[in-house]
Structure 1
């Protein structure tokens, strides 16, 4: 820096002398212009010097050291040919510690319940094949590599990001996920009905993986696609969104938030939501509820400016209500520190079975008096602000601590491991299947693919974990 300022001083002094000698001949006006030019050049030289210093710092600053034994799995799109084949450079197995001191969240217990229909019979190949009529795709793991056989398209990119999520599990625990074959359904409605598998048929239940179930169905519950991103509505991968919600919670303190119950979404996917809209404020009634219709087509055109989830933590109370079946919105609503008014659902996903009413949320029955019940809940909360705030923060804490991506992956690992133990046949690669890996999915090009690719890169597991999955609790 001293050298720089010395150079600038000489530059200025010589320039001043030039102006002094020639001011009489060139005139004061031109001398002023010359001084202005000298000033501009000096500032420009200083900017160049700053840029050079910053670049030098970046180049010379050593990168942080990786933990001992950590191996990076970079996404390598440069060596792929037009058929997008998987590279062979990444190992399919890696040694890890033999035990984990971390206990899994309580909701992991439900894995045993979800697999109970096959505990006594095991799972035969015929059972798996019988699930084909329901499935969007078959997912196969053989010797650490993954293969997919597609049957029918799914809504938007649900199947794409579900497959992507399982591939990231394989990157996180290479060589640890056992061989298996499974059928996966990506729709909203549940498909394996208990009533269709009673008596003699109870020994031939098709094992079909899905995002939710209820008391009348036997679908095997699995984390939904939105944990890795929902590009069609610009909802980022869960790891990014969870951090954004943490910051969003800090913008407005709970007691400074609007003293109403808030909901925003698409009401036209279920009768329940249509009925809920009748509780909105009107000239006749104010049920302490503020409801807004989410127009995704309009939001898409406007660049999703008004649909950021972290900007919706502005009310003391937030409403959760199912869509056609369950809704992925539940985790976003619970994470907002607002007391969740949960309209008691029929369906559940993999983690909600561990939520406790009056501890993590306030339950609301769906009846003819739902509007009145919502009003009373808000009135109670505004009168008992400390207790209402505690419930809101407890629900948010549950999500922040128990639904981290580490635990989502561990749930997947234990579910697939327990499922594979039930298989009574050796998994093989189907004739119609093709190998899939992160490269075959994220290295595609095209104007319509850029957002999908960005979400994949953002949610990609970049290196294997240096410990085994959390310790699974015993059955209920």
Structure 2
């Protein structure tokens, strides 16, 4: 049979399959507007976030959830405020490629009411339109909820956080007067610190040390939180450096120091990292990497990912040098290289040459992500978990605020601190592909449940609330402190509907 004749026969067979009833290929599963689901905090008036968000789960006409993407443009979201002529809202519908979509929007003004239309081919999805009875406040609106418990209920905050309970358990009481004298004397010359006082929901600060640029992150979260809820009066010190500071034993007089990172050898009170904090505050702003954008950029489906362990970064730890060395010896198992030399410049000839920066989203072309400490904990872990690759996490003495809730072999694959079993763990993952995929998806679900913006705001508020209860003397605005003012919002001011009794006195 000639090649031309064979081609004609195949063409006729294809036409026959599409024309004759009963001879068609399996139909593509289409989502149903009535059966699909819509839910999330962005559909609630009182959940005020820099970028609000909610979810859409595509389902077919029988109510079964789709598990693959029906197409990036499947759902359309429109928002209108009937009372206002214009709405200044930036909306993004992010396809998570698992049958679900994350819708995020950033409001640049406050609206009397907000109508959210979720559409599938011009049909309303689920209970659309969703009507948020106003006022619906934007991020810049200074209108705090006077009751912390009401705010927590609106935000669906958990009753407690294990890390906060653990950090504060070692302090039977906190004396702001004593700390105001002792902490600057002990740490103020060699370290970079901020001394904060929250009084009547206003923020005051004094800085100590030379390198206090990271104060901007703490200022920003305090101002943002105080616009949303009445904070307790409190006084506390924030360590702006990488390394946690309080090394005294519980039997000695310890000082409560708030830090971005904790360690097994210190007693600092841990907050969400400055990186994660900024990504929450600036979502849909100037920061491109955040917990939402990652979810829409997880690379190819699992079977199509490269079965190599991947890492890129700078030379901030000896184990990172060892990893690059191991990668050269085992290139089929590990793809690791430096994008910057800073700490071990004299070794650049041994571990270079440097490679170009890789977009973080391109990390997820690989099944296995290696997470190794930098100067302290590697602050990329939340974003690695949010993807759909499995994380190989180095055992570490450093930790972030959520590590106590992570489980080895459930959310990540553990690797020894010296990386001595890394190749063995990569091989295990290759030999147990379904189990590795299951761990990757569990880690992804953990990030979705615990590391989104609403959770970060809840963590900060619960930390401040519980810490304030320990104070045995009155927090004061002390000499040398400056008032940290709210940013002006001249273009789109809002009128707070709540009475501000303390401000009016």
**TM-score, normalized by length of structure 1?**
0.66
Alpha-carbon separation, structure 2, partners of 1:331 and 1:317: 15
User: 1:355 corresponds to which residue?
Assistant: 406
Partner secondary structure for residue 241 of structure 1: coil
1:138 corresponds, among 191, 195, 215, to 195
**SS of aligned partner of 2:161:** helix
3-state DSSP of counterpart to 1:387: helix
Partner of 1:439: 487
1:69 Cα offset (Å)? 4.7
Matching of residue 164 in structure 1 with residue 220 in structure 2: yes
Choose which of 423, 426, 437 in structure 2 pairs with 1:389: 437
Tell me which structure has the larger Cα radius of gyration: 1
Q: TM-score if structure 2 supplies the norm length?
A: 0.62
Residues 105, 402 of structure 1: 8 Å contact kept: no
- CA RMSD across the alignment: 3.5
Structure 2 unaligned spans of 5+: 1-83, 89-110, 115-131, 343-355, 499-505
Q: Which residue of 1 aligns with 2:397?
A: 346
Residue correspondence of structure 1 range 34-433 to structure 2 within 5 A: 65-66=113-114, 67-70=132-135, 72=137, 75=140, 90-91=142-143, 94=146, 98=150, 100=153, 104=157, 108-119=161-172, 121-132=173-184, 133-134=186-187, 135-154=192-211, 157-173=213-229, 175=230, 177-195=231-249, 198=251, 202=252, 204-229=253-278, 241-249=290-298, 251-267=299-315, 269-282=316-329, 285-286=330-331, 288-295=333-340, 306-367=357-418, 370=419, 373-433=421-481
Aligned-partner Cα distance in 2 for 1:93–1:245 = 31
Q: Secondary structure in 2 aligned to 1:280? A: helix
How far did residue 72 of structure 1 move?
3.0
Counterparts of 2:324 and 2:486, CA distance in 1? 42
Please say if residues 196 and 235 of structure 2, whose CA atoms lie closer than 8 Å, have aligned partners that are also in contact.
Answer: yes
Write the deviation string for residues 328-372 of structure 1: whole angstroms up to 9, x where unpaired: 1111222221110011011111111110000000001123xx35x
Distance 1:463 1:344 in 2: 50
CA shift, 1:401, in A, is 1.5
Contact persistence 2:271–2:460 (CA under 8 A): yes
Q: Using CA pairs under 8 Å that are at least 6 residues apart, name the structure with larger relative contact order, 1 or 2.
A: 1
Superposed CA offset, 1:134-180 (max 9, x none): 3521111100111111112437x42211221122111221x2x1000
Structure 1 residues 183 and 463: CA distance shift in structure 2, 3 A: farther
Displacement of 1:123 after TM fit?
A: 3.1
Give the Cα–Cα distance (whole angstroms) in 2 for the partners of residues 287 and 377 of structure 1: 14
Paired residues in the alignment total 352
Q: Is the 8 A contact 2:176 2:474 kept in 1?
A: no
| More helix, by proportion | 1
Find the residue that maps to 1:68 and give its secondary structure. Answer: strand
Stretch of structure 1 that moved more, 238-247 or 217-226: 238-247
Distance 1:220 1:237 in 2: 29
Q: What secondary structure sits across from 2:393 in the alignment?
A: strand
The structure whose residues are more often strand, as a share, is: 2
Deviations 1:161-214 (CA, angstroms, capped at 9, x unpaired): 1221122111221x2x1000100101111210034x63xxx3x31111001222
Structure 2: distance between partners of 1:61 and 1:436: 32
CA contact (8 A) 1:143 1:179 kept: yes
Aligned residues of 1:279 and 1:287 also touching (Cα < 8 A): no
Residue aligned with 2:437, SS: helix
1:262, 1:317 within 8 Å by CA — same for their partners in 2? yes
Paired residues of 1:316 and 1:338 also in contact (CA < 8 A): yes
Alignment gaps of 5+ in structure 1? 1-58, 76-88, 298-304, 444-461, 467-476
Secondary structure of the 1:395 match is: helix
The alpha-carbon deviation at position 60 of structure 1 amounts to: 5.9
Measure how far apart 1:379 and its partner are. Answer: 2.0
The CA deviation at 1:117 is 1.9
Give secondary structure in 2 for the equivalent of 1:217.
Answer: coil
